[in-house]
Amino acid sequence: MARLLDLIESSEEFEWDEGNQEKNWKTHRVTTQEVEEAFANVPLAIAEDTKHSLQEVRYWLLGQTDMGRKLFMSFTIRNHNIRVISARDQSRKERSSYEQTI
């Protein structure tokens, strides 16, 4: 996990796809600001998403916003930038797993 956290910390910025950004808002009411907060706050739970890493390496991350909203995010790293694919509230199972990292 430490290597994956290094990957995030070495990223230069977020790269937003307009379609994914709109989908995250319309479907899950998650803003780009909330996603960026969740990446910056601790604790984080992160792992490679091997199930969805067919064309490029993807990861998932469990984190929380400054207001304590717990989010699940899937993302990839492109050209040293974090490219968020999807963001939503954590499921009950994910929240339980995340809270064990605290």
Helix axes 18-28, 32-40, angle to 10 degrees: 90
Buried b (16+ CB within 10 A) or exposed e, 20-49: bbeebeeeeebeeebbbbbbeeeebbbeeb
pTM exceeding the 0.85 threshold for the entire prediction: yes
Please give the Cα distance from 86 to 77 (Å, whole number).
13
Please give the Cα distance from 95 to 63 (Å, whole number).
9
Model confidence pLDDT, tens digit, residues 37-67: 999 999 999 999 988 767 889 999 999 999 9
**pLDDT tier, 6 (very low <50, low <70, confident <90, very high otherwise):** confident
Calculate the dihedral angle through the C-alpha atoms of 42, 30, 22, 10, rounding to the nearest 10 degrees. 0
Q: What is the CATH number of the domain that holds 65?
A: 3.10.450.530
Model confidence pLDDT, tens digit, residues 14-32: 999 888 899 999 999 999 9
Residue range(s) defining the domain that contains residue 30: 2-99
How many domains does the structure of the chain reveal?
1
